[in-house]
Chain A
Amino acid sequence: MSTPVELKEGASLPAVKKNIRQDNINLYAKASGDFNPIHIDADYARKTPLGGTVAHGMLILACVSQMMTNAFGRDWLSGGRLNVRFRAPARPGDVITVSGSIRHIEKGDGHQMIDCDVLCSNQNDEPVITGDAKVKVGDNENRN
């Protein structure tokens, strides 16, 4: 269910929290077709510098998109933009919090361009993904 966001600079976006489990990673591999063993093969991953399996970066990024969809509904699906850096891997057992806030609003003719900071951090408050997201929304539009 969508959560409306107050469209003002500084407003927080509805945070999303995820427990990263190997089951999710395996299912994401199936859905995305990315079966890189670093994600799904514990024996292989243990012998790499990462020391164990890690989630697909795109799986964690999907949670950012989820937060933006919750906040802006269909406007995000056809007008959203993401620009992020992957800072650190997310591992099974990690708890990832996806958060964001509106940095800037630019008013246009019948619409507003919403510029947001987005962050995924783990249970140790280490950044996993940082970046920004933009979405164009219509004035007085019901975003639910």
Chain B
Amino acid sequence: MKAGQEFPPAVFQVGSITVDDYLRAVEEDNAIYQNTGLVPPMAVAALALKSLISAISMPSGTIHVSQEFEFIDTVNTQDTLTSHAGVSRIQERGKLHLISVDINVSNQKQKPVLAGKTSFILPVP
């Protein structure tokens, strides 16, 4: 892995069943999500990260150290989302690597809905 590396884009939806599971998992009961079709922004973020984790195949001992998100626009359960991710920085710290990855998610109209930067510490193999 190196700075500038881009991962293949991931296409996904956050359907109503996934939203229901997510709301139960985090015990979120805000009426804003009840029968509105709105997707909690952190559910979008979680699935965008899932795509990233699948692409990187994180080794055992990986620690998620920091996270930035910007929720740009609302997402509906009918939306089809595309996530683009790329390595923005790699720093060596002894036997560990600090890796930062930029994530950008857009909807089927190519409109940005979420942006973020996630940073992990990975053990050097």
Interface residues of A (CB under 8 A from B): 1-2, 18, 24-25, 27-28, 30-34, 36, 38, 48, 57-59, 61-63, 65-66, 69-70, 73-74, 76-86
* A132–chain B nearest beta-carbon distance, Å: 10
**Complex Cα gap A10–B47 (Å):** 34
Partner of A31, one of B27, B46, B53: B46
Partner of A83, one of B24, B27, B50, B68: B68
Is B71 touching A2 in the complex (CB atoms < 8 A)?
no
Residue of B24, B45, B67 ringed by the most chain A CB atoms within 10 A: B67
Residues of B within 8 A of A70 (CB): 30
Partner of B50, one of A1, A33, A57, A79: A33
Q: Interface of chain A, helix or strand or loop or mixed? A: helix
The closest CB in chain B to the CB of A73 belongs to: B32
* A99–chain B nearest beta-carbon distance, Å: 17
The stretch of B36-44, B78-86, B89-97 that contacts the partner chain: B36-44
Q: Residue B58 at the A interface, CB < 8 A? A: yes
Q: Residue B73 at the A interface, CB < 8 A? A: yes
* B5–chain A nearest beta-carbon distance, Å: 22
Q: Residue B31 at the A interface, CB < 8 A? A: yes
Residue of B25, B58, B67, B73 ringed by the most chain A CB atoms within 10 A: B25
Is A1 touching B41 in the complex (CB atoms < 8 A)?
no
Partner of A74, one of B22, B53, B60, B74: B74
Partner of B32, one of A34, A38, A58, A74: A74
Is A34 touching B22 in the complex (CB atoms < 8 A)?
no
Q: Residue B66 at the A interface, CB < 8 A? A: yes
Is B74 touching A27 in the complex (CB atoms < 8 A)?
no
- A59-B26 CB under 8 A given contacts A34-B46, A80-B41, A86-B66: yes
